[in-house]
Structure 1
Amino acid sequence: MSAFVMSDKYPKLCKAIENFGYDIIPSDKILQFNTPEQRHIDMQMLKINNDIFLLKECNNLKRLRENKDYNIILCKNNIDGKYPHCVALNCLYISGKLYGREEAIDVSVKNYCKENGIEIVDVKQGYTRCSTAVIGKNSAITADSTIYNALTKNGIDVLKIDSGSIRLDGYDYGFIGGACTMIDDGTVAFFGDIKTHPNFRKIERFCIIHNVKIINLAENKPLTDVGGAVKI
């Protein structure tokens, strides 16, 4: 299956990804979350290798069970819209480790990590996945100091950028991880135009170092946190 799961609130961005030959599977609308986050896939789904964790409330996405390429695991607990309990699946899996606010991670994920020998690295920032742009198997970009320190300590090459300059309706600003997705191993696509970010040159150099091409899905438009996109 060649598809991305993401919010369909931004049809032009969805169409831009479809133009690369992918289908779009719309994320669910989770009413327990604050309005700007209700369709954010990085709040609803966590993919670790060929296993996909879903919130119990994701009624539409449960049809992914029909795809035999993946093992769908539903969360044990009902989601709570209050932070940090809302970030049960907003975790970052990179280089064989899972990063997240451990107290908030759903028990199904914790049990899975224990059974599969995956270390959970506790970080203060609960919005771990949406705060981090994965640029490669061993490289990432974030504005969060706690994530930067944790990743760096574990051998990940991390670019630290300034907070802000990313649009997220209803909030002062959004996060870099929610504003991009890896189209393939050598291409990162930004939701909006990365050139509008004040750290664009640093980001551009970092991507060049890691042999990653940058694509803007909406030229001359604000960089926007749409909750990222999960490739399946």
Structure 2
Amino acid sequence: MKFVKTSFIPQKKINLALVDNRITSEMTNTLKKLNIDTIKTSKCENTYDAISYHPDITLIKLNDNNILVCPNMYEYYNKILSPLGFNVIKGNSPIEKKYPNNVQYNAAILGDKIIHNFNFTDEKLLNYVHENNFKKIHVNQGYCKCSICIVDENSIITSDEGIYKEVIKHGIDCLLIEKGHIDLFELNYGFIGGCSGLIDNNTLAFFGDISNHPNYKEIENFIKSKNKNIICLSKENLLDLGSLIPLI
């Protein structure tokens, strides 16, 4: 069984993705029509409800078939992912209710670069970063993957000004958009990274209708300039579901 070669950037069309358990039926049906099956997350009872099912809160897909999972949720993901051939690694840092003790795995990996607030990164993730000579880009935002829509190995979209100012220093092409306009259950708004994910090397999928976003034209032009297509998984409002994690 062949696996996606990088954490969030598949080289070929995926046929299995990890998604928030609360994904809508319309989104699930669209993925099925694309021949993409889904594994749904389990609730992490240790953090607050809005992000409790978000895959990018409790785990991070490192590379190839290695997935690092918080100790709170290790048994659940080991049981469902190990039979598929994944090496499920137990992290050191348990997820807790309040920031910053719920961001230890919420890093964005693109190519040989990793973006995170490294004051809070799980020790095993840090070890992996150092062993594989990743370029570390430190930002003040802890919810990095939530805040970053990965377009390709050197291009992202974010509404976080701090992330924007830092990544452009490192030669990453970044589109800065308005905050808000994305639903996140009981919270005021969600983030662009949490409502998106690549489903193949050429297609970026959104949980909801990206054309409703006030910066849609800029977003569309930016994505097209990177030779990527856009697909909306539903006609609903954009919904932050903690990223679409490509698996197989």
Q: Normalised by the size of structure 2, how large is the TM-score?
A: 0.89
1:57 is aligned, of 72, 81, 91, to 72
Q: Secondary structure at the match of 1:178?
A: coil
Are residue 27 (structure 1) and residue 44 (structure 2) matched? Answer: no
After TM superposition, give the deviation of residue 10 of structure 1 in Å.
2.1
Aligned to 2:242: 227
CA distance in 1, matches of 2:168, 2:84: 36
Q: Secondary structure at the match of 2:42?
A: coil
After TM superposition, give the deviation of residue 66 of structure 1 in Å.
2.3
2:161 is aligned, of 139, 142, 145, to 145
Q: Which runs of 4+ in 1 moved over 4 A?
A: none
CA distance in 2, matches of 1:97, 1:65: 27
1:114 is aligned, of 109, 130, 141, to 130
CA distance in 2, matches of 1:6, 1:226: 7
Are residue 66 (structure 1) and residue 83 (structure 2) matched? Answer: yes
Q: How far does the alpha carbon of each residue in 1:169-207 deviate from its partner, in whole angstroms, 9 at most, with x for none?
A: 111110000011111111111111001100000001001
CA distance in 1, matches of 2:37, 2:91: 25
CA distance in 2, matches of 1:189, 1:111: 31
After TM superposition, give the deviation of residue 92 of structure 1 in Å.
0.5
Contact conserved, 2:137 with 2:167, CA < 8 A, in 1? no
Q: Residue type of the partner of 2:84? A: N
Identity of aligned residues (%): 32
After TM superposition, give the deviation of residue 211 of structure 1 in Å.
0.9
Contact conserved, 1:8 with 1:14, CA < 8 A, in 2? no
Which is further off, 138-147 or 56-65? 56-65
CA distance in 1, matches of 2:217, 2:24: 28
Contact conserved, 1:132 with 1:140, CA < 8 A, in 2? yes
Are residue 79 (structure 1) and residue 95 (structure 2) matched? Answer: yes
Map 1:204-215 → 2, pairs under 5 A: 204-215=220-231
Compare relative contact order (CA 8 Å, sep 6+) and give the higher one, 1 or 2.
2
CA distance in 2, matches of 1:97, 1:138: 9
After TM superposition, give the deviation of residue 74 of structure 1 in Å.
1.2
Q: Residue type of the partner of 2:68? A: F
Ranges in structure 1 where 5+ consecutive residues have no aligned partner = none
Ranges in structure 2 where 5+ consecutive residues have no aligned partner = 2-14
Which is further off, 177-186 or 8-17? 8-17
Aligned to 1:9: 22
Which is further off, 194-203 or 153-162? 153-162
Q: Secondary structure at the match of 2:71?
A: coil
Aligned to 1:135: 151
After TM superposition, give the deviation of residue 57 of structure 1 in Å.
1.6
Aligned to 2:58: 44
